[in-house]
Amino acid sequence: MRPTDIAIANYRSIRRLFMPIQPLSVFVGENGVGKSNLYKSLSLLRDAATGRITRTIADEGGLNSVCWSGIRKRGEDGRLRLAARFDNIRYAIELGFPSPVEAAFSGEPMIKSECIEATHGKQKVRMMARKNSLVSIRGESGAWSDHRDAVLPSETALAGFLDAKACPEIDMIRGAMLGWRFYHDFRTDPASPIRKPCLAITTPSLSADGSDLAATLATLCVIRRDASDLQDAIEDAFPGAELRAWEENGRCEFDLQLADMPRPFKAHELSDGTLKYICLLAVFMGYRLPPFIALNEPEASLHPSLLAPLARLIARASRRADIWIVTHSEHLMAALQGESSVPLRRVIKAKGATTIEGLTAAGEFRDEEDDVDDDDDD
């Protein structure tokens, strides 16, 4: 199950957005237009599957900090709303402040509603509806069953209601969203776990913090026993270089032999930019890629000469997973356009709200509408 579209309302600088998820989505924008909020809103939506969404909001300063703070129309409640569609199944969640009669801490983020809706042809059927602590499930016969106090107001039904037999759609969406992976940055300081050996555990995809980098690389070299694609990517970025990864005494390690150096360098000796690029290699070339990968400014700390190889990495990986990239690098954007048919998506601010240039209220891009019109003319 891969996401087909998302909806965001009242999140930070995003007033309202509805947009499709494509195999490769790249968003470029200047500082301060809110492009990182696109990335963060998807990460927050994934937290609904882990059950941490209210804690994440509290960690970020609470709803007053997270919700849209611009001008609202009369009667608007300003609740935070997030939704994602997976082919014919859609999940939506709404969060707000506790009412005076609810048992909650002052200002605590509360889950007001959740729903799962299935589409069969032109018919939409609600399969799960949650209001406050009441979870209602539609059974196979079409009859509803109520589960009072099934979850706390701070818990999501997506994570807390575990009766998969009663509502398999919950299990399906939870599993799909738990497979999403977000990469914001990789620590490269001397104490970073990326620079150290890690446990020898077969690792199909890199963790969000990169702490299992050596195991991810060793899984390709030792377990799969075919690192030819990885070596080709190393050669593309660092001509004449060779990367090795191995297991020894229950630990995985790796090193990089550069063409102009007399000996290989281990992780703790590599430059920040080289080490970060190797992390990106692991992101896009893992044994098994997550179905959805989001990266925030992957070009940070990289030498400009690495942007073209990075674009080639991303373009190839988009055949195996949906990839979402937020960047302020026009050079990376140009390189990506040269490697694939990805259109330019520019993040802008209109009347104080973050939006995407060319995106219509119906969730379509004007250039795609033009393509349809041209086909019709043919």
The string of pLDDT tens digits covering residues 35-68 is: 899 999 999 999 999 999 999 999 998 888 898 8
What crossing angle do the helices spanning 228-237 and 307-317 adopt, rounded to 10°? 150
Domain assignment of residue 32, yes or no? no
Kindly state whether residues 140 and 158 are assigned to the same domain.
Answer: yes
Domain assignment of residue 313, yes or no? yes
What crossing angle do the helices spanning 307-317 and 272-285 adopt, rounded to 10°? 20
Q: Does pLDDT of 296 surpass 70?
A: yes
Which pLDDT does position 54 carry in this prediction?
A: 93
- Spatial contact of 112 and 95, defined as CB atoms under 8 Å apart: yes
* 364 residue type, one letter: E
Kindly state whether residues 173 and 52 are assigned to the same domain.
Answer: yes
Distances (CA, A) of 176 to 82, 139, 144, 179, 181: 16, 22, 25, 5, 11
- The parent domain of residue 223 ranges over 182-342
Domain assignment of residue 331, yes or no? yes
Domain assignment of residue 29, yes or no? no
Q: Mean of the per-residue pLDDT values for the chain?
A: 89
CA distance 256 to 234: 9
- DSSP 8-state code for residue 278: H
CA distance 21 to 68: 23
What CATH number corresponds to the domain at position 219?
A: 3.40.50.300
Q: Does pLDDT of 374 surpass 60?
A: no
Q: Does pLDDT of 72 surpass 80?
A: no
Please state which of the ranges 36-40, 50-54, 138-142, 197-201 shows the lowest mean pLDDT: 138-142
Domain assignment of residue 50, yes or no? yes
- DSSP, collapsed to helix, strand or coil, labels residue 54 as helix
- DSSP, collapsed to helix, strand or coil, labels residue 291 as coil
Kindly state whether residues 130 and 259 are assigned to the same domain.
Answer: no
Domain assignment of residue 188, yes or no? yes
CA distance 155 to 143: 25
- What H or E segment, with its residue span, contains residue 265? strand 265-266
Q: Is the dihedral of CA 57, 62, 66, 72 positive or negative?
A: positive
Terminal Cα distance for the chain, rounded: 34
CA distance 326 to 36: 7
- Spatial contact of 223 and 200, defined as CB atoms under 8 Å apart: no
Domain assignment of residue 30, yes or no? no
Q: What is the largest CA-CA distance in the chain?
A: 73
The string of pLDDT tens digits covering residues 249-294 is 999 999 999 999 999 999 999 999 999 999 999 999 999 999 999 9
The better pLDDT of the pair 340, 234 is held by 234
Which pLDDT does position 315 carry in this prediction?
A: 93
Kindly state whether residues 56 and 98 are assigned to the same domain.
Answer: yes
**What average pLDDT does the segment 304-322 reach?**
94
